[in-house]
Structure 1
Amino acid sequence: MVFLSIGILLLAAVEAAKVYFIMPMPGSQEADTIELAYWIHQHIWLLRILGWLLIAYPTYRLLADHQNGKRKIVTLVLLFGYGVVVYLFNFRFLADKMFYQPKETVMLNLQNNKIPEDKVVLGLVVNGQARAYPVQLIGYHHQVRDTVGGEPVMVTYCTVCRTGRIFRPLVDRQPDEFRLVGMDHFNAMFEDKTTGSWWRQVSGEAIAGPLKGHQLASLPAEQMTLRAWAERYPQTLVLQPDSAFRKQYANMEPYERGRSQGDLTRRDSLAWKPKSWVVGVEYKKAARAYDWNRLQKQKITNDQLARTPVVLMIAADSVSFHVWDRTVDGRSLRFVPVTDDSFLDTETRSVWNRQGVCLEGPLKGRRLVPIPASQEYLHSWETFHPTSTRYL
């Protein structure tokens, strides 16, 4: 009986471990256990068969023993408990059983769009075609597939890290399918169908499997309100809600503005806390985090990163933000706010708008060069940019 009990408990432990290491359970995301998790995932059927063989004969002996009713009941209870564990960790606690891709992807122009203009979107332009993906929608789905400018794209979002990333879903140069498999260090993780490799959402890097070390090609995306995006790209198409997920979208509504109450998705209003918002900038192998509260207060922040003069701007809507190289014609400019959505360089007194275009003055018509940046939680930025500095 003891041998049987240990065998069933080990079987249950294997089922739990398969999910524990790749889901946000107590203590599961702090350690570097991805290789162990992947090994269990790849060998789960071998482990199950060995376990079943281990308990098969003792189970048969106990169930066939008509003189020991108590042990038979205990055996049945243990087997039932094991069945519950199998169900929970294979049909309830798996990431792709909790978050589903849209059943249909509907993109509408601004004239027919149903998304409010103050919603936060992830904007993308490919081959002259613009798309806007509301965070409220992609935050639930974690992944939305689309074709933009004739090219397949994979729009991803991790609500626990607050990271929106867009990739070309190509494995060995061929379009592939991906499923949400879990997370690593609190970041969403996808599995490709062809090789079964696991890919980190924040970077597009394969961290386990045959393609470990490979990288998905990323596409530049910008976060702003739909109103701000539409001003720049009036021909944009906008992702619409899938009616099959109304309840899930409603639960996501507080998230985009930092009003979520969940431990994993809440916002800490204080600076430099794990759940504080930051703008992360990585440029020429240098990385720096900028506290969102301070950026909002200053509106315009001049800095230097990797010996490059940079400027960060938070728009009047307190959602849209931009980062540019503030060098023009080899000359470093310093900017100060003029209005909520315009700023002035102190060197030439030229006036610039929130698209980084000079509207008035000696530099009229010139454009600042954008620098990729993202808004995310501090814990995410510093986990995946361990050499990052802080703007203090």
Structure 2
Amino acid sequence: MKRSFLFFLVLIFLLIILEVLSVYFIMPFPGSQLGLGESDSANTSLGRVELAYWLHRNIGWLRAVGWLLLAYPAFRVMAKPRRAWHRYVAGALVLLYGIVFYEVNQEMMADQMFKQPTNKRVVPISQNKIPLNKLVLGFTAMGQATAYPIQLIGYHHQVRDTVGGQPVMVTYCTVCRTGRVFSPIIKGQADEFRLVGMDHFNAMFEDKRTGSWWRQATGEAILGPLKGTSLSELAGQHMTLGEWAADHPNTRVLQADSAFTEEFDGMKNYERGLSKGKLTRRDSASWQPKSWVIGVEKADFSKAYDWNKLVKKRILSDVVGGEPVLLAMAPDSVSFGAWSRRVGVQTLTFHYANRRLTDQETQSVWTWRGHCVAGPMLGKRLDAIPNAYQEFWHSWRSFHPDTERDNAR
């Protein structure tokens, strides 16, 4: 009987550990994530996530084996305990396991904590209820523009939509401050995704067809049958709804789902960097893990630019991957744009003074959106740099380990 009790104890504790480990490495528990340290890279330390994936794929039969092995010693301990207190201890541990099982599988699962809209409404700007000073991730396709407020998609983590006849997956990770728009079509077929957890503090999604796990910041499948495959990224822009609507007067706007009013209220200060959460608040100083940067990718090169410097200087000029780049700050000091400085065969050099943006070559006047409004180049528009993002410094360096820091003038 003593052996039965000891066997019961070992098995019940192993089952509890199994449940905890199934979520530990893919949720932000102490010590479970990498990505905030200077030496951390998303290209290393995949072992813990591989273990989590293996557990995720095999936990069903592992539980079943554990329950079968537990059944007999549990019966012996409960029916004929050697000590009366054995029965009470066994009962308490079974109750504890039940609580852990429920918490892990109902309360701690990422897709249970951050749910999809139950009543998704995307309306014309004329019917919009979202304040114009709210930040959005904007996307256009086939002449149709749509704005997705960060306060909403930051909670949902992903919203599926169709823009200009094109299916899109609009994603946001608040811990990395990464907004990305992807095509959900994989090998010619649209798939569905659910939020499964995080890796290097970045949201991970699981596709329905193969169960592969995908990083939100890069759109790459890191585990599963589709490992190494990448979702096609679509160009989104980060600005206030007012600035987006000024450039896209016929835009549609995602509206708040009343089923998640409390969750959206908890996100109202996030976009301005005033969140109280340790994982989502902003470092106001430069080049700290939670400092804001603008990351730019071009031709396999990547650079990060200090947000504070851009706010102060209003424009930054540089070359990334052979492309002359202009970063421009809007008058609201919240919206920004990234543009190519090439116009035809000419590369322009920009200067900002007295609240005017001009090019030195022709003295034409430009807006922060890259539109020429006066001078010899009147009517010209700078081409947008599609892969330019605002995010936390720890995120950018994790997923771009070879990135260079700002050397713009």
TM-score by length of 1: 0.97
CA distance in 2, matches of 1:192, 1:211: 10
- How big is the shift at 1:336? 1.3
- How big is the shift at 1:260? 0.2
% same residue: 54
Matched with 1:345 is 359
CA distance in 1, matches of 2:302, 2:406: 10
**CA deviation map 1:25-56 (0-9, x unaligned):** 11111242221111000000111122122222
- How big is the shift at 1:64? 1.4
TM-score by length of 2: 0.93
Matched, 1:63 2:78: yes
2:133 to 118, 143, 148: 118
- Corresponding letter in the other structure for 1:162: R
- How big is the shift at 1:279? 0.3
Matched, 1:17 2:21: yes
Matched with 1:228 is 243
Matched with 1:364 is 378
Matched with 1:264 is 279
Secondary structure (helix, strand or coil) at the match of 1:40 reads helix
- Unmatched 5+ stretches in structure 2: 35-44
- How big is the shift at 1:310? 1.2
148-157 or 49-58, which moves further after superposition? 49-58
After superposition, residues 283-322 of structure 1 pair within 5 angstroms as 283-322=298-337
After superposition, residues 172-251 of structure 1 pair within 5 angstroms as 172-251=187-266
1:336 to 336, 344, 351: 351
- How big is the shift at 1:331? 2.7
Show structure 1 runs of 4+ deviating over 3 A.
none
Matched with 1:273 is 288
2:89 to 74, 97, 100: 74
Matched, 1:26 2:59: no
- How big is the shift at 1:67? 5.5
- How big is the shift at 1:282? 0.5
45-54 or 325-334, which moves further after superposition? 325-334
CA distance in 2, matches of 1:171, 1:54: 42
- Corresponding letter in the other structure for 1:362: P
- How big is the shift at 1:254? 0.2
Cα gap change, 1:42 to 1:70, in 2 (>3 Å):
same
91-100 or 303-312, which moves further after superposition? 303-312
Secondary structure (helix, strand or coil) at the match of 2:126 reads coil
Asked if 1 retains the 8 angstrom alpha-carbon contact of 2:214 and 2:220, the reply is yes
Matched with 1:326 is 341
Matched with 1:137 is 152
CA distance in 1, matches of 2:197, 2:82: 47
Secondary structure (helix, strand or coil) at the match of 1:6 reads helix
- How big is the shift at 1:272? 0.3
Asked if 1 retains the 8 angstrom alpha-carbon contact of 2:144 and 2:163, the reply is yes
- How big is the shift at 1:163? 0.5
CA distance in 2, matches of 1:175, 1:148: 15
- How big is the shift at 1:2? 2.1
- How big is the shift at 1:94? 0.8
Matched with 2:168 is 153
Cα gap change, 1:67 to 1:307, in 2 (>3 Å):
closer
Asked if 1 retains the 8 angstrom alpha-carbon contact of 2:310 and 2:316, the reply is yes
163-172 or 264-273, which moves further after superposition? 163-172
Secondary structure (helix, strand or coil) at the match of 2:127 reads coil
Q: State the structure with bigger RCO (CA 8 A, min sep 6), 1 or 2.
A: 2
- How big is the shift at 1:332? 2.4
1:354 to 365, 368, 375: 368
- RMSD of aligned residue pairs (Cα, Å): 1.2
Asked if 1 retains the 8 angstrom alpha-carbon contact of 2:202 and 2:217, the reply is yes
**CA deviation map 1:292-338 (0-9, x unaligned):** 00110000111122232211111111111111111223332211124
- Corresponding letter in the other structure for 1:17: L
Matched, 1:38 2:44: no
262-271 or 79-88, which moves further after superposition? 79-88
- How big is the shift at 1:66? 5.4
**CA deviation map 1:343-379 (0-9, x unaligned):** 1011211111122121222222222121120000000
245-254 or 54-63, which moves further after superposition? 54-63
2:68 to 46, 53, 57: 53
Secondary structure (helix, strand or coil) at the match of 1:386 reads coil
Secondary structure (helix, strand or coil) at the match of 1:211 reads coil
355-364 or 264-273, which moves further after superposition? 355-364
Secondary structure (helix, strand or coil) at the match of 2:50 reads helix
Secondary structure (helix, strand or coil) at the match of 1:257 reads coil
1:4 to 2, 8, 15: 8
